[in-house]
Amino acid sequence: MTVFSGAGISAESGVPTFRDVETGLWAEVDPYEISSADGWRSHPDRVWAWYLWRHHMMGAVAPNNAHRAVAAWEDYADVHVVTQNVDNLHERAGSNQVYHVHGSLFEFHCDRCGAAYLGEVPAMPEPVESVDPPRCACGGLIRPNVVWFGEALPDRAWQQSVDAVINADVVVVVGTSSVVYPAAGLPELAVASGTPVIEVNPEPTPLTSTATVSLREKAGAALPGLLQRLPALIG
Ligand code: OAD
Query: Residue 10: which of 111, 74, 113, 93 has the closest Cα?
Result: 93
Query: Residue 84: which of 64, 62, 99 has the closest Cα?
Result: 99
User: Mean pLDDT over residues 137-142, rounded?
Assistant: 98
Q: Compute the distance between CA of residue 153 and CA of residue 70 in angstroms, rounded to an integer.
A: 24
What percent of the chain stands above pLDDT 90?
91
Q: State residue 176's pLDDT score.
A: 98
Q: Compute the distance between CA of residue 38 and CA of residue 102 in angstroms, rounded to an integer.
A: 17
Phi, psi (rounded to 5 degrees) for 126: -120, 145
Q: State residue 28's pLDDT score.
A: 83
Which amino acids bring their CB within 6 angstroms of ligand 1? 6-8, 11-12, 17-19, 24, 35, 84, 102, 147, 174-177, 180, 200-203, 205, 218-219
What's the whole-model pTM score? Answer: 0.97
Q: Compute the distance between CA of residue 4 and CA of residue 102 in angstroms, rounded to an integer.
A: 12
Does domain 2-234 sit in CATH 3.40.50.1220? yes
| Count of C-beta atoms within a 10 Å radius of residue 164 | 23
User: Mean pLDDT over residues 16-26, rounded?
Assistant: 86
Phi, psi (rounded to 5 degrees) for 157: -65, -35
Band of pLDDT at residue 27, cut at 50, 70 and 90: confident
pLDDT digits (tens, 9 = 90+) for 89-132: 999 999 999 999 999 999 999 999 999 999 999 999 998 999 99
Catalytic site includes residue 102: yes
Q: Compute the distance between CA of residue 65 and CA of residue 81 in angstroms, rounded to an integer.
A: 15
Band of pLDDT at residue 208, cut at 50, 70 and 90: very high
The domain limits of the chain are: 2-234
pLDDT digits (tens, 9 = 90+) for 189-200: 999 999 999 999
Please give the annotated binding residues for Zn(2+), written as ranges. 110, 113, 136, 138
Query: Residue 2: which of 103, 101, 92 has the closest Cα?
Result: 101
Q: State residue 203's pLDDT score.
A: 97
User: Mean pLDDT over residues 135-151, rounded?
Assistant: 96
pLDDT digits (tens, 9 = 90+) for 29-84: 888 889 999 999 999 999 999 999 999 999 999 999 999 999 999 999 999 999 99
Looking at every residue in the chain, the average pLDDT score rounds to 96
Which of 12, 13, 17 for a ligand 1 pocket mutation test, highest count of atoms within 8 Å of Cβ?
17
| Alpha-carbon distances, residue 41 vs 32, 33, 112, 130, 141 (angstroms) | 12, 10, 12, 14, 10
What percent of the chain stands above pLDDT 70?
100
Q: State residue 25's pLDDT score.
A: 86
User: Mean pLDDT over residues 147-168, rounded?
Assistant: 97
Q: State residue 42's pLDDT score.
A: 95
User: Mean pLDDT over residues 133-155, rounded?
Assistant: 97
